[in-house]
Amino acid sequence: MTSDQKGPDLTPGPKVRFAISVEGFPVAQFDDTAFAMLPGHAETYFLGHAWRIRRPLDELLRKDFYGHGGVLADQEAFRAKVLEQAEHIRERQALGRHEIRSHANTPWGPSQGATVFAEGVVCHSTAGHGGFHLATDRNAKVDRRLRRPGGWYEEDAEWAIVALSFPHLFTSFERRCAEQTVKDSWPDAWEAIFATVLAPGQSHEKDRRAFHARHAGDWIVISAIRSEHHGRHVEVIATLGGHRDRETEQRRFLVPSDEYEIGRFGFVVDPDRHEVYEGPSSFVGWGR
C-alpha cells in the first residue's frame, strides 16, 4: 500500500470517496452507501456493504459492514467494483422508482411492500421470497419463449426476464446481470430471440448439458464423504450420467482426497484409477 492511498480522495465522475479504515482495509463511500474490501477465504477478499454510516471513512470497523457483494482479487478490483456500484446507484435514483404499501397476494405469500418500477411493473417483497408482477398488457410484451402465465416472475432468476423485456426500467449494471442470467438459465430462448449461438463458457445451462452429454456413460458422483475406514480417501456414491432416480444403479468408489475436486458439474470417476468399493461405509444407512 503506497502512502498516497492512505487518505480520502475524489474520483472523477460519480462522487466516490476512497480511504483506508482504522483497521487497515480499503473503504469507499458513495451517497448513503459505504463499501469495504474485507478478507475472505484462501487469501481472497469480498465486497462488504454498509448503509447510512455517519462516521468518517477512516474510523470505520469491520463490524460496520454486512452482506457479501462478490469476491475481489485485489484493491484494483475493489475500486472497479465500487465505481460500478456507484454508477448503478446513480442510475437507479434517476429512474424514479418508488415504494408503496401492498397487501397483494403473490405466489410467495402476502406482499409486505412493493417497489413500482413503472405502471404495470411492480416488484413485491414477502416474508420468504418475492418477485415481479406484470400487468396483462405488460406481460403480453414479454417474448412468448420466456413469458410466465399470470405475469409473476420470481426474484432469483426470472426477474431477469422482466429486465430483458423492459431494459429502460433498469440500470446498466442490472441489464448486464439480467443478460447473463437469461443466457445461463434459458439459453435456447436467448439464442432464438437474438438469432445467435452461445459459445462454450457463455451459458451455465448449455455447458451443463454438454458436460452430461459427454459423460452419459460415465460414473458421476452424487454424494461424497470423508472415509472413516481409509485415511486420505473420500468415499463416493456414483451413478451413470449422474442420474438420481431411485431405480438408478449406484456404486461406491474410493477416491484419494488430493484427487477429489468436484468441478462445475460434478466429479467423474475414473474406473482405471478409482476402485469400486464394497467395504464398510461411512454413509449412514448404507447397506451391504
Q: Is the pLDDT of residue 162 over 80?
A: yes
pLDDT at position 252 over 70: yes
CA distance 167 to 283: 49
Q: Report the pLDDT value the prediction gives residue 41, as an integer from 0 to 100.
A: 81
Closest CA to 242 of 288, 208, 207, 286: 208
pLDDT of residue 8: 38
Q: Quick one: pLDDT at residue 287?
A: 56
Is residue 42 over pLDDT 80?
A: no
Reported confidence tier of residue 6, pLDDT bands at 50, 70, 90: very low
Task: Evaluate if residue 201 carries a pLDDT over 60.
Answer: yes
**Residues composing the chain:** 288
Instruction: Name residue 254's beta-bridge partners.
Output: 235
The mean of the pLDDT values for the chain is: 92
Phi, psi of 100 (to 5 degrees): -135, 155
Tell me, what DSSP letter sits at residue 277? -
Torsion of CA 155, 157, 163, 164, to 10 degrees: -160
- Using 50, 70 and 90 to split pLDDT, how confident is the model at 7? very low
Q: How far apart are the C-alpha atoms of 86 and 90, rounded to whole Å? A: 6
H/E stretch holding 86: helix 75-95
Least confident window among 65-74, 110-119, 183-192, 251-260: 65-74
Instruction: Evaluate whether 236 touches 224 at the Cβ level (below 8 Å).
Output: yes
Which cell goes with 6? 492512505
- Say yes or no to pLDDT of 1 above 70: no
pLDDT band per the 50, 70, 90 thresholds, residue 221: very high
| Domain residue spans of the chain | 3-95, 98-194, 216-288
Mean pLDDT of 45-56: 92
pLDDT at 167: 98
